[in-house]
Structure 1
Amino acid sequence: MKNKILHNLLLILSISFVSLSCEEDLNVEPNNAISEFDFLNNPDNAVQLVNGVYNKQLDYNMYCFSWIGMTSITSDDADKGSTPNDTGTDKHKMDNLTFNATDISFIDVWEGRYDGIYRANNALFYLEQLTIDPALKSRLIGEVKFLRALYYFDLVRCFGGVPLVTTKIDINNTEEINNIVFVRRSKEETYAQIETDLTDAIERLPIKGQYSPNDLGRATKGAAQALLAKAYLYQEKWQLSYDMAGEVITSGQYGLLANYAEVWREVGENKVESIYEVQATLNKGLIGYTDVQGARGTPDLGWGFNTPSLSLVNSYQEGDVRKNATVLFVQSTPFTLWDGFEGSPTWNNPRYNYKAYQSSIAESWNGNKGETAKNLRVLKYSDILLIRAEAAYQNSNFGEALARTNEIRVRAGLPELTTITLADVLNERRWEMAMEHDRWFDLVRTGQAPAAMAANGKTFVVGTHELFPIPNNQIIASNGRLTQNPGY
């Protein structure tokens, strides 16, 4: 109820978390029912505290409708979908690049990440006080720092420099709030914080193979290295990105699945290609992700948003298996999906996102399509191969760029290239990562956005659309201390 009433204020997020950290995330009795000594000496409380930072990723304002709108519908890989009159509140504006600072998508993404950051900061504060096994404590701190870095990576890619809140905030300290919570730092400072958190996490976290089966899916050393390689890539720190991607590749922990189509299915969850996934179960599912993108009509599988574009479909080379693994094509007569489910020619749109499809026949299913057990892939080995290839090309190491790109192409059923260009690498990135929420950021960071949007009949405003607007409600809450991005 507190969140429902007050969630729009960044300051109030810290207040709401103070309550949530005791009641929901810890899963322990209220503080007045246990002693401080008992709390600080119970390792189970430490794990539950950290689980609360992970569980934030399942919420609607993390990876659901708003994130899909900002990262996919904006791009040339996807259209709004659904029906012409169903705007999805602001998703038609995402599609047309006519959005503004009052749109709900920006509010959701901003508040969702900062809620996660507050959880992380509170977890780190209490972890330092817990009297538990030092190795467990260090690992849990590493997990939280990875998650905080991930949340800031989303924020900096979307909004540029943002407020850096890295400690437990005293909600009664107005000066602290005004000087930290409501003050934007530069993009460079934000990336520096991401690098600091990930560097520390790398030192603390085990490799994937060292986790027990019960802990599968927790942040690993490889996940921290992969995210750091990606953060370096976005800053054009080519050699650092190349080296860090190399650490992941040579770790022996990861590889490509033989069948590309299985990467996003339940059978591919947490397998060799997975570096980091949001973990979802039937009891604690991912809210809205599959429902928003499911086929609309009869039989009804969802809302029908975020449909693959003709631009994406027409971009694939002949024989690329990734095309039919990514795009669910609606046919003129009844047709069968990969799991045996019968699709309908009456579905509203001609195409849907196959990667977001949750099978009610061949995968974990309890009938609740609004909260599914489908994991969300965040970092994959194929992504790292492409990061390595791009960084290698930028360093004039064309042989390495060619070799890593060809690893991707062979799995896709395409002939190997004999020479390599930057366009080759970026095209492979588009096809390999299609509908996986990287395309918009890749267009922006590589300078392709104006031409790509023009080819799609959209106007990319140089000097403005490189960043999304800071949510207006946050600027109001800060009494104008937060500054807006150019052009909004």
Structure 2
Amino acid sequence: MKNIIYKNAVLGIGLLGLVTITPGCKKSFLDVPTQAEQASGTFWVDQNDAAKGVNSIYANLRAWGNTAFPAIAVESMGADEAEKGSSPTDATYFNDYDTFSVNPADGQLSGFWNAQYQNIFLANQVLTNVPKISMDAALKSRYLAEAKFIRALSYFRLVRAFGDIPLRTTVAADASEYNIAKSPKAQVYALIESDLNDAAAVLPQSYLATDLGRATKGAALGLHAKVAMYQKKWSDVLSYTNSVMTLGYSLLPVYDNVFRVAAENGVESVFEIQAALIPGNAAASNSQYSQVQGVRGVTGGGWGFNVPTAALAAAFETGDPRRDATIIFRGETTPQGDVIAATGDNPMYNQKSYVPFSMYVSGFNEGCQQNFRVLRYSDILLMNAEAANELGNSAQAISSLEIVRARARQGNAAILPKVTSTDQTTLRNAIWKERQVELAMEYDRYFDVIRQGRGTAVFGPKGWKANKNEVWPIPQTEIDISGGLLTQNPGY
């Protein structure tokens, strides 16, 4: 595994500003202090340092490797709902993920891997140092719970993408501890669940406006439900989702509004990666999630990657308004009034990452205001429906499924009829279908199909092979740096 002892650890001031600390070392006349850096030897001494340490984790979550090209490659490209987009000759390596022919040396693999381990390092830094600080006890407990939540989130993203992975829970003391072998995925899941149990026991149900976007009890319980779902622990999935359903979440009346900037951190949001346009500070307004997926060839648009497929467009039932809220079609006018040219490189774009062109500010990334939706309440409801059905409770499964379909129906009884079948297989397929259209382009489809055991049936025509493509290859750079301590996944 690559040396994950980051020599310059990014620390946040607030969830959106950045400052850096560096290790303490001997000074010479050649040493010129970097602006806004703070030596680690004078850090981790008070409550303010603890706050900066926790905020550094949130700040890193919106970085390139967590939300842009590496995340698109690893978490989206393999699915039947998305393809490369942009111009035919630009970033052609995305096609290798789409056809399951990716080389372990491809940089997007290591970009994603390193982003998750940097999140984990920053969380471990907090978990190692904050307990030693004399500060408000309740706030200290909350900070540790937030760090555990984000560590769990990053390990979950890693384990479902790569399977067995190195498991690090402390900051390495010296170079002898830099490289560690892979741990079985069962051990990784056990740590994730332990972290989420600890987090849920401490995190508040909500925050005041100044702390919106931090991990909550609902986020910990909701993520735990998803982690349990990937292990087919259906009783746990049902229990955790039932708990989340008592915490005051609800669905916004209009599906399209869920993904607009004005609705961020609203009643449907369980957890989002925070982003913002901060006037006068383009460096801190660094999210490129929307930019890399925005409509190509227009001011305020973007680069045009990760576009919906014809298969996704055809997956929606006739009249389902989520189709137009998920896909920007060439030649249309968006609900926000942006006219999309009838010609161009791509027939469709991801509308969930769209920010109206009028919100573009010169000198800033297009759409840098857009939060990355990690977990929504509709996902909670659909997990609840799936777990209830697997446990033989068709009545609850239908009830939770209907809440999602009713919102999409928007009062039009002629579309999206209520699912009434109590047959377990029929209901299971209906819930899976609902996940496909409700959560389209949200980086879940690829992993959903695999955990459902349908990889060959759904992705086989794209090149997916059983007993290999359930996971991506371990980045070759990590194997090389480890001196062979890390081993490659079978088949690569």
> What's the TM-score once normalised by structure 2's chain length?
0.89
Structure 1 vs Structure 2: percent identity of aligned residues?
38
2:47 pairs with one of 43, 52, 77: 43
1:355 pairs with one of 346, 352, 355: 352
In 2 relative to 1, CA 309–30 (structure 1 residues): closer, same or farther, beyond 3 Å?
same
SS in 2 for 1:415: coil
- Asked if structure 1 preserves the Cα contact closer than 8 Å seen for 2:76 and 2:446, the reply is yes
Structure 2 residue identity aligned to 1:293: Q
In 2 relative to 1, CA 341–192 (structure 1 residues): closer, same or farther, beyond 3 Å?
same
- Asked if structure 2 preserves the Cα contact closer than 8 Å seen for 1:285 and 1:371, the reply is no
Alignment of 1:264-343 (within 5 A): 264-283=259-278, 284-299=284-299, 301-331=301-331, 335-343=332-340
Q: CA deviation at 1:129?
A: 1.2
- The aligned residue for residue 226 of structure 2 is 230
Alignment of 1:357-376 (within 5 A): 357-361=354-358, 363=359, 365=361, 368-369=364-365, 372-376=368-372
Q: Distance in 2 between matches of 1:227 and 1:189?
A: 17
Structure 2 residue identity aligned to 1:243: S
- Asked if structure 2 preserves the Cα contact closer than 8 Å seen for 1:27 and 1:48, the reply is no
In 2 relative to 1, CA 105–379 (structure 1 residues): closer, same or farther, beyond 3 Å?
same
Matched, 1:183 2:181: yes
Show structure 1 runs of 5+ residues with no match.
1-8
Q: Distance in 2 between matches of 1:274 and 1:165?
A: 30
Q: CA deviation at 1:303?
A: 1.6
Alignment of 1:51-450 (within 5 A): 51-86=55-90, 88-172=91-175, 174=176, 176-177=177-178, 181-208=179-206, 211-252=207-248, 254-283=249-278, 284-299=284-299, 301-331=301-331, 335-361=332-358, 363=359, 365=361, 368-369=364-365, 372-413=368-409, 414-420=416-422, 421-450=427-456
Q: CA deviation at 1:15?
A: 3.8
In 2 relative to 1, CA 434–371 (structure 1 residues): closer, same or farther, beyond 3 Å?
closer
Q: CA deviation at 1:34?
A: 8.6
In 2 relative to 1, CA 389–298 (structure 1 residues): closer, same or farther, beyond 3 Å?
same
Q: CA deviation at 1:459?
A: 1.9
| 1:205-230, Cα deviation, whole Å (9 max, x unpaired) | 1112xx11100110011100000010
Q: CA deviation at 1:302?
A: 1.8
Q: Distance in 1 between matches of 2:87 and 2:40?
A: 55
- The aligned residue for residue 4 of structure 1 is none
Q: Distance in 1 between matches of 2:379 and 2:488?
A: 32
Matched, 1:14 2:5: yes
Q: CA deviation at 1:108?
A: 0.7
Moved more, 36-45 or 337-346: 36-45
Q: Distance in 2 between matches of 1:44 and 1:21?
A: 11
Q: CA deviation at 1:287?
A: 2.8
Q: Distance in 2 between matches of 1:223 and 1:59?
A: 20
Report which of the two has the higher share of helix: 1
Moved more, 351-360 or 431-440: 351-360
Q: CA deviation at 1:367?
A: 5.1
SS in 1 for 2:166: coil
Q: Distance in 1 between matches of 2:120 and 2:140?
A: 19
Q: Distance in 2 between matches of 1:36 and 1:452?
A: 50
- Asked if structure 1 preserves the Cα contact closer than 8 Å seen for 2:296 and 2:303, the reply is yes
Structure 2 residue identity aligned to 1:406: E
Aligned residue pairs total: 463
SS in 1 for 2:311: helix
| 1:275-334, Cα deviation, whole Å (9 max, x unpaired) | 100111113335321121112224572221111111111111012111000000112xxx
Structure 1 residue identity aligned to 2:89: N
Q: CA deviation at 1:103?
A: 1.1
| 1:362-412, Cα deviation, whole Å (9 max, x unpaired) | x57555235701111001100000111111111111111111111111111
Q: Distance in 2 between matches of 1:28 and 1:14?
A: 13
- The aligned residue for residue 3 of structure 1 is none
| 1:336-383, Cα deviation, whole Å (9 max, x unpaired) | 22222222112211110001111232x575552357011110011000
- Asked if structure 2 preserves the Cα contact closer than 8 Å seen for 1:58 and 1:285, the reply is no
SS in 1 for 2:76: helix
Moved more, 313-322 or 366-375: 366-375
SS in 2 for 1:405: helix
Structure 1 residue identity aligned to 2:418: E
Structure 2 residue identity aligned to 1:447: G
- Asked if structure 1 preserves the Cα contact closer than 8 Å seen for 2:62 and 2:286, the reply is yes
Show structure 2 runs of 5+ residues with no match.
26-36, 279-283, 410-415
C-alpha RMSD of matched pairs (Å): 2.3
Structure 1 residue identity aligned to 2:252: L
- Asked if structure 1 preserves the Cα contact closer than 8 Å seen for 2:360 and 2:366, the reply is no
In 2 relative to 1, CA 410–317 (structure 1 residues): closer, same or farther, beyond 3 Å?
same
Q: Distance in 2 between matches of 1:70 and 1:21?
A: 26
SS in 1 for 2:183: coil
- Asked if structure 2 preserves the Cα contact closer than 8 Å seen for 1:327 and 1:354, the reply is yes
Q: CA deviation at 1:67?
A: 0.8
Moved more, 133-142 or 122-131: 122-131
